[in-house]
Amino acid sequence: MTEPVLHGYFRSTASYRVRIALNLKGVAYADAFHHLLKGEQRAPDYLMLNPQGFVPTLEVDGTVLTQSLAICEYLDETIAGHKLLPDDPLRRAGVRAAALLIACDIHPIQNLKVLQRLRGLGLNKEQVTDWARQVIDEGLEAFDRLIAGEEGPYCFGDQVTLADIFLVPQLGNARRFGVELRWPRLLAVEQACLALDAFSRAAPQNQPDAE
């Protein structure tokens, strides 16, 4: 693999996921930044790469990959080392379900594009924030219950999986929206993950484009 280029934004939780995965896999990469609040993701040259105008996008070996879950699974399937998904099919399905809970049922309903549309429909700032807070709260409550029978220190035992890669950025986003983090198990997972170099280097505040 030639050095990939990761198109992202420091505060994007989806970009954060891919940064963690790249770090866990030991892949060096170049950054290309797109400031979402300034609309840089809608620039014509970027839309040629990613027609959705979302981040992240990963350019690798002449191919363009989009969607953080697909990118993480590609990395897991093509690069040896740390496994992001268990070998056992049932365990693998469980990890995927946890990751998808965040990727499909929390994040899309409270992402920037949705919140902007809510404002366009006449909701004020407080109402939009309340919307996002409720979506995140309900989703994290379900996530907590989903992994309740699993031992730590991570979501599914003693190895970081896709579930952890998706959970940690979402917890950061929850704080931004003022969600009460009332789940000791999730906070313990976060603490264990953030002690790892792969997570700390990927954190939003440690990115070159951080404001």
Taking the domains of the chain in order of start, what are their residue ranges? 5-82, 89-199
Tokens standing for residue 78 = 């093509």
pLDDT number for residue 1: 78
Instruction: Tell me the DSSP string of the chain.
Output: -PPPEEEE-TT-HHHHHHHHHHHHTT---EEEE--GGGTGGGSHHHHHH-TT--S-EEEETTEEEESHHHHHHHHHHHS-SS-SS-SSHHHHHHHHHHHHIIIIIIGGGGSHHHHHHHHHTT--HHHHHHHHHHHHHHHHHHHHHHTTT--SSBTTBSS--HHHHHHHHHHHHHHHTT-----HHHHHHHHHHHTSHHHHHHSGGGSTT--
pLDDT number for residue 112: 84
Rg over CA atoms, the chain: 17
The residues near 211 (Cβ < 8 Å, ≥ 6 apart) are: 10
pLDDT number for residue 2: 86
Name which of 56, 151, 170, 156 is nearest 106 in CA terms: 170
Do residues 150 and 157 lie in contact, with contact meaning Cβ atoms separated by under 8 Å? yes
Averaged over successive runs of 10 residues, the pLDDT of the chain (211 residues) comes to 94 97 98 96 97 97 96 97 96 98 94 88 92 96 97 96 98 96 98 98 98 89
**Domain 5-82 identical in fold to domain 89-199:** no
pLDDT number for residue 85: 98
Using CA atoms, how far residue 198 sits from 71, 120, 127, in Å, is 17, 38, 36
Q: CATH classification of 5-82 is 3.40.30.10, yes or no? A: yes
Assigned architecture for domain 89-199: Up-down Bundle (1.20)
